[in-house]
């Protein structure tokens, strides 16, 4: 979820993604492959900041030096928009980031070269992530990393309020009590982005979710989901939960870093941001509180997409293999805070980064995103509705989500 800080998480590639990016973007057989020994690849990424951009460029340069090829890495200002335009124009980058939330739109549009099965050690990638990046029975692209949600608390505020480690919230009731206790005239107890990408964890903790496990049925208007949104509405009404813009910040990490929030819910991209932007602010990451149905968190990932229209498939696959080795993933983790997408590398990550235990432990039970083609616009509307949750009817919000989702599943997208 590295695009979160760049505010592109809800971008939908304009009309291109909403229509599946059209099916005339090329096919595996239509791309004329360049068999020259030296090739030039263009890579487009949605970077979380300078640390990520530098790390990717360094890794790509090492591959280029070893193979004799050249690589140009370009960090997009708005990845989905720029990539959508490039695909529509017929001149896409050879390799690019594809978020799991929009992956199916590209896959349906035949914009991606399916190379996943060419990876000899493909089973080392997390099973849930392989599922997120599979379409039509094919493992399309290798997940570059992984993120989950956890609760981050300002340790100084925590201590000054008389709270101890024993008070870290374990339940929804605990979370409400501590958020209330930490809220002052200048500080909000809990600041969380008003998007399903952050608030969706409460749906899982309540026993609900947007679709069934197979993503063949919309389950948005369930009693469990109503309970979750009703709980969040209560916290918003009490003023102990606010959205970032309500405290004049852009996201939860900024609210925590500027000490306008005592707690926030974010993914492990928070680690790099706090280290770079707010190194003097002490904080601790703990697991999200359990809800009526137990644990619940969300997972996010991005894959290394290869364009169908690229004429450098073989070289592009070679580059991706180099960028996704266990060693390289651990290097990326050290550089900008993401977790490895490989099970073998994740085990090492847990040993090297004990402070991120809540994030890494969450990978075992995290809910992946909805990856139904055309569902992006449904979730964008859901986010819009969640922004007004404080004064809205949770049942109405979920009823609309149910209706909109069913229309997509029935082919009405």
C-alpha closest to that of 60 among 74, 46, 73: 73
Kindly report the pTM of this predicted structure. Answer: 0.84
- Specify the pLDDT at position 272: 80
Residue with tokens 């997208």: 413
Burial annotation 162-171 (CB, 10 A radius, 16+ → b, else e):
ebeeeebbee
What span, in angstroms and rounded, lies between the C-alpha atoms of 130 and 149? 19
Radius of gyration of the chain (CA): 21
Round to whole Å and give the CA distance between 359 and 285. Answer: 8
Q: In Å, what is the CA distance from 239 to each residue of 153, 186, 255, 290? A: 18, 12, 15, 21
Q: What is the pLDDT along the chain (413 residues), one digit of tens a residue?
A: 444 443 333 333 333 333 333 333 334 433 444 545 689 999 999 988 888 999 999 999 999 999 999 999 999 999 989 998 998 888 999 999 998 878 998 999 999 999 999 998 999 998 889 988 999 889 999 999 999 999 999 999 999 999 999 999 999 999 999 999 999 999 999 999 999 999 999 999 999 999 999 899 999 999 999 999 999 999 999 999 999 999 999 999 999 999 999 999 999 889 888 988 999 999 999 999 999 999 999 998 999 999 999 999 999 999 999 999 999 999 999 888 789 999 999 989 999 999 999 999 998 899 988 989 999 899 999 999 999 999 999 999 999 999 999 999 987 55
10 Å CB burial of residue 149 (0-12, 13-18, 19+) is buried
HSE (side-chain half, CA atoms, 13 Å) at 234? 13
| Angular region, 192: left φ>0, alpha ψ -120 to 50, beta rest | beta
Is residue 207 classed exposed, middle or buried when 0-12, 13-18 and 19+ CB atoms within 10 A define those classes? middle
- Compute how many other C-beta atoms are within 10 angstroms of the C-beta atom of residue 23: 12
Domains for the chain: give ranges and CATH numbers.
14-146+301-362 (3.40.190.10), 149-298+375-409 (3.40.190.10)
CA distance linking residue 256 with residue 170, whole number of Å: 20
Which pLDDT score is estimated for 13? 35
Furthest-apart CA pair in the chain: how many Å?
67
Strands 138-139, 188-191: pairing is unpaired
Asked whether the beta carbons of 318 and 158 are under 8 A apart, the reply is no
Query: For residue 192, what are its two tokens?
Result: 């969380």
- Can you say whether the dihedral through the CA atoms of 266, 269, 275, 277 is positive or negative? negative
Phi, psi (deg, nearest 5) at residue 15: -70, -20
Q: What pLDDT score does 331 carry? A: 95
Tell me the CB-side half-sphere exposure of residue 324, using CA atoms within 13 A.
Answer: 29
Which value, to the nearest 10 degrees, does the dihedral of the CA atoms of residues 291, 295, 298, 304 take?
180
Helix (H), strand (E) at residue 159: helix 155-160
The Cβ-side half-sphere exposure at 308, using a 13 Å CA radius, reads 22
Cα gap 340→353, rounded to integer Å = 12
Neighbours of 27 (CB within 10 A): 12
Query: In the numeric block, which tokens belong to residue 320?
Result: 């991706």
Cα–Cα distances in angstroms (integers) from residue 371 to residues 225, 259, 403, 409, in the given order: 19, 35, 17, 11
């Amino acid at each position: 979820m590295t695009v979160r800080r760049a505010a592109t998480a809800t971008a939908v590639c304009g009309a291109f993604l909403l229509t599946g990016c059209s099916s005339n973007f090329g096919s595996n057989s239509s791309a004329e492959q360049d068999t020259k020994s030296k090739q030039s690849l263009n890579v487009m990424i949605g970077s979380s900041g300078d640390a990520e951009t530098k790390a990717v460029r360094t890794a790509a340069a090492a591959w280029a030096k070893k193979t004799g090829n050249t690589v140009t890495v370009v960090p997009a200002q708005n990845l989905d928009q720029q990539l959508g335009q490039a695909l529509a124009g017929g001149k896409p980058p050879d390799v690019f980031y594809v978020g799991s939330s929009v992956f199916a739109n590209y896959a349906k549009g035949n914009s991606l070269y399916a190379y996943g099965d060419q990876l000899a050690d493909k089973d080392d990638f997390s099973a849930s992530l392989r599922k997120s990046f599979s379409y039509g029975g094919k493992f399309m692209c290798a997940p570059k990393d992984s993120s989950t949600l956890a609760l981050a608390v300002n340790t100084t505020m925590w201590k000054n309020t008389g709270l101890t480690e024993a008070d870290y919230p374990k339940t929804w009731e605990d979370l409400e009590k501590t958020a209330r206790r930490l809220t002052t005239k200048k500080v909000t107890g809990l600041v969380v982005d008003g998007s399903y990408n952050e608030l969706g964890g409460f749906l899982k903790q309540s026993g609900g979710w947007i679709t069934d496990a197979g993503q063949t049925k919309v389950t948005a208007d369930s009693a469990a989901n109503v309970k979750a949104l009703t709980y969040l509405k209560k916290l918003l009404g009490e003023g102990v939960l606010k959205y970032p813009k309500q405290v004049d910040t852009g996201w939860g990490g900024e609210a925590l870093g500027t000490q306008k929030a005592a707690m926030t819910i974010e993914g492990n991209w928070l680690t790099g941001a706090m280290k770079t932007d707010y190194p003097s602010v002490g904080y601790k990451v703990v697991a999200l509180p359990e809800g009526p149905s137990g644990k619940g968190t969300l997972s996010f990932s991005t894959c290394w997409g290869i364009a169908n229209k690229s004429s450098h498939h073989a070289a592009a696959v070679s580059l991706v293999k180099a960028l996704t080795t266990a060693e390289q993933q651990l290097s990326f983790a050290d550089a900008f805070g993401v977790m490895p997408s490989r099970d073998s590398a994740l085990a090492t990550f847990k040993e090297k980064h004990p402070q991120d235990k809540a994030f890494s432990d969450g990978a075992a039970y995290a809910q992946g995103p909805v990856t139904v083609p055309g569902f992006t616009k449904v979730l964008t509307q859901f986010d819009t509705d969640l922004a007004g949750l404080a004064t809205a009817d949770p049942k109405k919000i979920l009823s609309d989500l149910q209706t909109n989702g069913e229309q997509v599943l029935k082919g009405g997208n």
